Amino acid sequence: MVATCVFCTVPDPVQGLKEVRRVCRHDGRIVLLEHVRSEHWFLGPVMDALNPLVLYLIGSNINRRTVANVRMAGIEIDREEALAGKIVKLIVGHPQEI
């Protein structure tokens, strides 16, 4: 399963990711390319402050903690790569056995 910049717009990203886990074969791979909230001491809070405006204007959350959401959804991360100033992440994983 491959998704790019999807979980910034899904109302409940953890539930959406749980659905991805559910429909992915047990031996399948999940590949996500997502923008995420910066962990930088200044940029992260700025993204939080701007998020309501950005959400209103373009319908996308710019401060989602997608890596944590992936784990909460029961997807085991095999590879995580920071791109574009660490606000874009390539996340490769697979469904955890439940």
| Residue 25 phi, psi dihedral angles, 5° rounding | -60, 150
**DSSP structural state of residue 72:** H
**Amino acid letter, 23:** V
Structural domain count, the chain: 1
pLDDT string in tens for the chain (98-residue length): 999 999 999 999 999 999 999 999 999 999 999 999 999 999 999 999 999 999 999 999 999 999 999 999 999 999 999 998 899 999 999 999 86
Q: Which domain holds residue 65?
A: 2-95
CA distance 58 to 81: 26
CA 11 vs. chain centroid, Å, equals 12
Which CATH number is 47's domain given? 3.40.50.150
| Residue 10 phi, psi dihedral angles, 5° rounding | -70, 130
Q: What is the pLDDT of residue 46?
A: 97
